[in-house]
């Protein structure tokens, strides 16, 4: 269980994240939704301690994550893998080496300096690439790949960290529809098959509703919605997206209505059976 207690992040006189409290059970797939500037990315970066909270605490299994330093902090970052919108790959390195970088926190500093990866590390990396249909490109330089391919490499790198939590910050923002589906399918399978908690920042309500067990809606740094996708109303979407609601919400909310109707039909069918 991951608990967030009164978390605040200030930039000057503005609270980018404003008194957020949440509990995230192990193995849940959570979509964090809201317009740009709502505080979604800042929240995820604080969970990984890439950004330091101004106030509040992050608790995991009774450990105060906000107090960790040194080796303990490095282990926490190993356990909470980040996936970024910009992929954050080393372009001049091949695909396999980029994935192997996810093993660095499992190795001694001396071995890191000489880039000596074990056979077991390489097997893990290749298996992760095969899972994402990227093993045939393991010798190719990362900078030559398409955006969707680079994001799949980034997911493979996160997977070989053997994390307990994956934090995906707008992982599909720059992808076309086909690659969006490939990446979201991959994150969904990782969540379901490995039981890894996934928190994913998303703009697209349709995608969020399709893949996530739970949606957390943020506006102006605050949580204004926290429930299953079927509970998201048009009124809440308007609060989340403001003037964007008309553009971002029409088709997506129609999709949410369809999902809610489908769930109701399933429940009715189960009662009949």
Which has more confidence, 261 or 21?
A: 21
For residue 262, pLDDT over 50 is answered with yes
Which has more confidence, 22 or 230?
A: 22
Collapse the DSSP code of 154 into the 3-class scheme (helix H, G, I; strand E, B; otherwise coil) and give the result. Answer: helix
Token pair 């960790």 is found at 68
Q: Using H for helix, E for strand and C for coil, what is the string for 177-191?
A: HHHHHHHHHHHHHHH
* Per-residue pLDDT at 249: 47
DSSP string, 155-217: HHHHHHT--SEEEEESTTTT--HHHHHHHHHHHHHHHHHH--EEEEEES-HHHHHHH-SEEEE
Q: Do residues 25 and 209 lie in contact, with contact meaning Cβ atoms separated by under 8 Å?
A: no
For residue 53, pLDDT over 60 is answered with yes
Mean pLDDT of 50-74: 94
Lowest mean pLDDT among 46-55, 114-123, 169-178: 114-123
- Measure the CA–CA gap between 128 and 117, rounded to whole angstroms: 16
For residue 75, pLDDT over 60 is answered with yes
pLDDT interval class at 247 (50, 70, 90): low
Range of the domain at 253: 2-272
Q: To the nearest whole number, what is the mean pLDDT of the chain?
A: 87
Token pair 């970024």 is found at 84
Is 0.75 surpassed by the pTM of this model?
yes
* Per-residue pLDDT at 245: 47
* Per-residue pLDDT at 259: 59
pLDDT interval class at 82 (50, 70, 90): very high
Mean pLDDT of 204-222: 92
* Per-residue pLDDT at 20: 97
Token pair 């680079």 is found at 150
Mean pLDDT of 220-235: 90
Query: Tell me, what CATH number does 10's domain have?
Result: 3.40.50.300
Mean pLDDT of 131-149: 93
CB within 8 Å of 30: residues ≥ 6 apart: 24, 197, 198, 199, 200, 212, 213, 214, 215, 216
Q: How many domains does the chain have?
A: 1
* Per-residue pLDDT at 270: 60
* Per-residue pLDDT at 76: 94
* Per-residue pLDDT at 256: 57
Mean pLDDT of 27-39: 93
For residue 85, pLDDT over 50 is answered with yes
């Amino acid at each position: 269980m991951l608990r967030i207690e009164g978390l605040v992040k200030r930039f000057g006189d503005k609270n980018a994240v404003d008194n957020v409290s949440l509990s995230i059970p192990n193995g849940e797939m959570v979509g964090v939704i809201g317009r740009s500037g709502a505080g979604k990315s800042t929240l995820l970066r604080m969970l990984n301690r890439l950004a330091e909270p101004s106030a509040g605490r992050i608790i995991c299994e009774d450990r105060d994550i906000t107090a960790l330093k040194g080796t303990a902090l490095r282990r926490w970052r190993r356990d909470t893998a980040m996936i970024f919108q910009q992929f954050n790959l080393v372009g001049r390195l091949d695909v396999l080496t980029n994935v192997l970088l996810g093993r660095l926190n499992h190795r001694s500093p001396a071995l890191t300096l000489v880039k000596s990866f074990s056979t077991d590390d390489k097997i893990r990396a290749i298996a992760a690439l095969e899972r994402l249909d990227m093993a045939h490109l393991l010798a190719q330089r990362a900078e030559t790949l398409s955006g969707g391919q680079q994001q799949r490499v980034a997911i493979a790198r996160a997977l070989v960290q053997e994390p307990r939590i994956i934090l995906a910050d707008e992982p599909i923002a720059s992808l076309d529809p086909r690659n969006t589906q490939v990446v979201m399918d991959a994150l969904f399978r990782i969540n379901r098959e490995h039981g890894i908690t996934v928190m994913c920042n998303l703009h697209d309500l349709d995608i969020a509703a399709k893949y996530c067990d739970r949606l957390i809606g943020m506006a102006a740094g605050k949580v204004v919605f926290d429930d299953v996708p079927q509970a998201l109303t048009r009124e809440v979407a308007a609060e989340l997206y403001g003037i964007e609601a008309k553009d971002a919400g029409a088709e997506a909310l129609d999709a949410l209505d369809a999902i809610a109707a489908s769930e109701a039909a399933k429940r009715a069918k189960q009662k009949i059976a």
